[in-house]
Amino acid sequence: MNFDFSEDQKLLKEQVARYLSDNCPIEVVRGVLEGDDYYSSSVWKGLVDLGLTGATIPEEYGGLGLGPLELCVIAGELGRVSAPVPFSSSVYMATESLKLFGTDQQKEKWLPKLASGEIIATFALSESAIEPNPNNIKCSFSSGKLNGIKMPVPDGSYADLCITVVNDQKGGADKIKMAIVPLDGVGVNKKSLKTLDQTRDHAELIFDNVDAELMNNSDDGWNDVQHIFDIAAILMAFEQIGGAEASLSMAKEYALNRFAFGRQIGSYQAIKHKLADMYIKIELAKSNSYFGAMMLNDDGADLKIAAAASRVAATDAFNYASQENIQTHGGIGFTWEADTQFYYRRSQVLGLALGSIASWKDKLVTQLEEKNIS
Amino acid sequence: MDFNDTAEENNFRLEVREWLEKNAPKDKKIGGYDSIDVEESALERAREWQAKKADAGYAAITWPKEYGGLGASSIHSVIYSQEEAKYNVPSGIYDIGLGMCIPTMMAWATKEQNERYVEPALYGKEIWCQLFSEPSAGSDVAGVRTKAEKDGDDWLINGQKVWTSGAHFCDFGIIVVRTDPKAPKHKGLSFFFLDMKSPGIDIKPIRQISGGSNFNEVFFTDVKVSDNQRLGEVGEGWKVALTTLMNERLAIGVPKSADYSSLTQLAKNVILNNKPAIKNDLVRSKIADWYVQSEGLKYTKMRSLTSLSKGETPGPESSIGKIVSAPKMQDLASFAMDLQGAAGILNDPDIALMHSIFQNQWMSAAGYRIAGGTDEILRNIVAERVLGLPQDIRVDKTVPFNELPSGR
């Protein structure tokens, strides 16, 4: 029985944690929230210098050639500090897409630049508040040109490259494809959007006859998109767990030091049970996500159901921990000066990024039904 | 990351498999005891199987060799249980004795006493029970009122214990009693072991709301116990009780129950709003939630086993098991009954859907949320021992026990 991360992976986790606690204290996150920057370029540069943007990029393309388990421990630490960087867009989604569905030429062109931090990439599926499905993707690709609107695109105001889910206008079962679109070209209009979490930029991208290139998708491009979402669900789960643990730790600290009615509020069962529930949700999320990580690492048959379970459990844990952290703080937790807000905001960025939980639960049960049949 | 045995664990597993294949009875389910009516023949089969296990060293894998154990680690014990679970062997009768009572004896009794009692317990010749809970001492178990008073070199016990599993077929028991009612609650307790056939012990089965009877009330009237059956000093019984309670977490779990897969099966077969219930979004959402909880607990166990396999103590995550599983048993069963509409009320296994597993589970779950630590006490334990939050204010800590308000 070896259902745990390796010693090397734990060392990497410590190394990333140390870098982030030194270089990404909560003031940096606040700086991005209150300032004009889209992200913290100094924290991002540090992550690049540690090689982390190229963690899973093969060495031949200038990466570290590590596996998904390493990415899981990195994700956890980024979540713990609520890092204001485009890691989930650029690494979990765009880089993984390129690795899996890029042509050799595309990989040679872009992966080294992602590893070296020369460019930041993102992934765009959503077009509006209507849940995307293979029949309502309007962004169209034909004869090398892309037209349409994507929004909200995470980190879209400043990303250099966008893996864009498109409709190839041929109407077949394979009409959904992924296209690579450099965002510095003619016809790309970017508009930053006001969102609940300004520490992670989101933009509307309007494509007007923009040069783009299709990737090497399978016959079922929609399934490829789902596969990327499954990978991202597991990695984001680790990021959510990191944020949930930080929220619990803040709540605990406050409950120990705040006195009311002559005693520590942490001695009241109403608070104790609330914090115990945070802990329980976090552990359930962690255990599901460990299995997700294992499936990711083994490319296992249960990847889909494990991804959905990780997603459901980790979203529940982070949403609950971040909201009840504010509740534990009382009024002070609702002020602009309090740091509770960063986790509260981030829980929704991570929780909504891959579509609604109702859909993930439905996917989970569909998998369960399919497993029972076979 | 994997679920595989180490080479050494695998060797042990193969050894166990071979032994079970040769020795385990292959007839139909003999089962454990889930009712008060354990027939003598069932006890006899349990004794036979226990003796065989003890001879092979599998009866107490983690105990030291001098007590008849294998001196092996907890992971070996888990491996044995996993393999034994594939057979229909008697189970349950010795869990409390070997899981809680005898470890307490090993920690506190004299060498001579352990020489006398450990082996017969291990071989299943003598069965033990635990006498802690009382009508007015449940979650607050240190609040026991059953008293022991000095009578020459002996003690006389008077009072009542409750929720005692197996008392009517047990040979010995361990008991915590009040020896000084003037001392504060925890300081006036002493701890004894006693012969359950002693004169003055009266055992009556409790009938639970489920109709079943898994426990007893035990009444004590001038029951004489020798002072050399005392474990620990007079007035330090709580310290001894903590040894037992520490082992309780290992001995008591929640039984296998109808889970998301049974609910899925039901949902495929009942109709809700003119379509199979499995097509209903609320039903799917509930199934997903319970799947996530069940799988979460399953993999939490894998994490604990990983620690055991490495020879480490499992982390605090293992404490969430019953807090999650007991309410899930109840909620899931209640939801499954709801899917059956008005017929959800049926509790006759011959006519109720799926042999009324959900109805039965709904009834018994109400008890599992209480047994071995209520949902609320377990949350306190997580908050205090795992998260390090302060204890609640204890108004009874320094007051003489006999001056405490007692309510009904």
Count of domains for chain B: 3
Is B246 an 8 Å CB contact of chain A? no
Chain A contacts of B308, Cβ < 8 Å? Answer: 1
Asked if B50 contacts B92 with a C-beta cutoff of 8 angstroms, the reply is no
**A51: Cβ contacts below 8 Å, ≥ 6 apart:** A63, A64, A115
Mean pLDDT computed over every residue of chain A: 97
Q: Is B276 inside a domain boundary?
A: yes
What confidence score (pLDDT) does residue B251 get?
45
Q: Are residues B226 and B283 in the same domain?
A: no
Say whether both B214 and B303 belong to one domain. no
Name the pLDDT band for B154 (thresholds 50, 70, 90). very high
CATH number of the domain enclosing B137? 2.40.110.10
Domain boundary among the residues B93, B116, B142 is at B93
Q: Which domains does chain A have, with CATH numbers?
A: 7-118 (1.10.540.10), 122-214 (2.40.110.10), 221-373 (1.20.140.10)
Mean pLDDT of A338-347: 98
Place of tokens 């534990």: A328
Is position B407 within any domain?
Answer: no
Asked if B228 and B299 sit in the same domain, the reply is no
- Domain membership of residue B245 (yes or no) is yes
Residue B112 has pLDDT above 50, yes or no: yes
Residue A165 has, within 13 A of its CA and on its CB side, a CA count of 29
Mean pLDDT along residues A36-43 = 97
The model's confidence at residue B165, banded by pLDDT at 50, 70 and 90, is: confident
B384 classed as catalytic: no
- Contact between A272 and B380 using a beta-carbon 8 Å cutoff: yes
Taking the Cβ of residue B386 and every Cβ of chain A, the question of whether any pair is shorter than 8 Å is answered with: yes
Question: Is there a single domain that holds both residue B312 and residue B242?
Answer: no
Task: Give the pLDDT band of residue B219 (cuts 50, 70, 90).
Answer: very high
Per cent of chain B over pLDDT 90 is 79
Indicate the pLDDT class of residue A173, thresholds 50, 70 and 90: confident
pLDDT band for B90, please (50, 70, 90 cuts).
confident
* Under 8 Å between Cβ of A152 and A191: no
Question: Using CA atoms, how far apart are residues B87 and B20, in angstroms rounded to an integer?
Answer: 8
B182 and B278, same domain (yes or no): no
Q: What is the CATH number of the domain that holds B269?
A: 1.20.140.10
Is residue B245 located within the same domain as residue B134?
yes
In the predicted model, is pLDDT for residue A220 greater than 60?
yes
- A266 with B389: Cβ contact below 8 A: yes
Residue A95 has pLDDT above 80, yes or no: yes
Last residue of a domain, one of B71, B93, B115: B93
Highest mean pLDDT among A267-271, B38-42, B85-89: A267-271
- CB-CB under 8 Å, B299 with A291: yes
Residue ending a domain, choose from B196, B229, B251: B251
Q: Which residue in B248, B295, B317, B376 is the catalytic one? A: B248
pLDDT of residue B245: 84
Same domain, yes or no: B288 and B314: yes
Q: Quick one: pLDDT at residue B166?
A: 87
Q: What is the 3-state secondary structure (H, E, C) of chain B?
A: CECCCCHHHHHHHHHHHHHHHHHCCCCCCCCCCCCCCCCHHHHHHHHHHHHHHHHHCCCCCCCCHHHCCCCCCHHHHHHHHHHHCCCCCCCCCCHHHHHHHHHHHHHHCCHHHHHHHHHHHHCCCCCEEEECCECCECCCHHHCCCEEEEECCEEEEEEEEEEEECHHHCCEEEEEEECCCCCEHHHHEEEEEEECCCCCEEEEEECCCCCCCCEEEEEEEEEEEEHHHEECCCCEHHHHHHHHHHHHHHHCCCCCCCCHHHHHHHHHHCEECCEEHHHCHHHHHHHHHHHHHHHHHHHHHHHHHHHHHCCCCCCHHHHHHHHHHHHHHHHHHHHHHHCCHHHHHCCCCCCCHHHHHHHHHHHHHHHHCCCCCCHHHHHHHHHHHHCCCCCCCCCCCCCEHHHCCCCC
Does residue B286 share a domain with residue B238? no
Task: Report whether pLDDT(B29) > 90.
Answer: no
Q: Are residues B159 and B246 in the same domain?
A: yes
Do B229 and B267 fall within a single domain? Answer: no
What would the mean pLDDT of B355-363 be, rounded to a whole number?
95
Confidence band for B253, pLDDT divided at 50, 70 and 90? low
Contacts of A94 (CB under 8 A, 6+ apart): A114, A121, A122, A123, A161, A162, A163
Q: What is the pLDDT of residue A365?
A: 97
**Confidence (pLDDT) at B28:** 52
B136 and B74: one domain? no
Q: Is the pLDDT of residue B92 over 90?
A: no
Domain that holds residue B334: 260-370
In a domain, B380, yes or no: no
pLDDT at B35: 43
Q: Residue B54's pLDDT is what?
A: 96
Residues B212 and B133 in one domain: yes
Task: Give me the pLDDT at residue B33, please.
Answer: 42
pLDDT band at B30 (very low <50, low <70, confident <90, very high): very low
